[in-house]
């Protein structure tokens, strides 16, 4: 019983914060309350949702708490850029 409780506790601790640290998408008005970290880009997306997911993943990997998509363009394959914030 104690082993099950320990295993379950470890699972909850390790998986619970995964969504809590994902970078948030911001609009221009919201960015004034955040410190700029840099710029990221992504390419090869087939739709806007995929492009946003790629940019969000890169923002998370850079340790950003938020990002603002500043550019998205392309025909069959999209590319875009975003400013990332602390």
Write the pLDDT tens digit of every residue in 72-84: 999 999 999 999 9
Cβ-contact 67, 83 below 8 angstroms: yes
For residues 64 and 11, the model is more confident at 64
Query: Once rounded to an integer, what is the mean pLDDT over residues 18-23?
Result: 61
- Within the chain, residue ranges assigned H as helices are 2-15, 17-20, 48-61
Query: Once rounded to an integer, what is the mean pLDDT over residues 55-84?
Result: 94
Domains of the chain in start order, with CATH, are 22-85 (3.30.1660.10)
Q: What predicted TM-score, i.e. pTM, was given to this entire model? A: 0.70
- pLDDT higher than threshold 70 for residue 32: yes
Say how far apart CA 33 and CA 86 lie, in whole Å.
10
Query: Once rounded to an integer, what is the mean pLDDT over residues 2-22?
Result: 51
């Amino acid at each position: 019983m104690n082993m099950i409780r320990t295993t379950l506790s470890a699972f909850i601790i390790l998986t619970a914060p995964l969504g809590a640290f994902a970078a948030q998408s911001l609009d221009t008005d919201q960015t004034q309350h955040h410190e700029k970290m840099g710029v990221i880009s992504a390419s090869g997306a087939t739709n806007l949702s995929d492009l946003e997911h790629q940019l969000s993943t890169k923002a998370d990997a850079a340790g950003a708490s938020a990002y603002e998509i500043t550019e998205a363009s392309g025909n069959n394959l999209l590319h875009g850029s975003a400013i990332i914030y602390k």
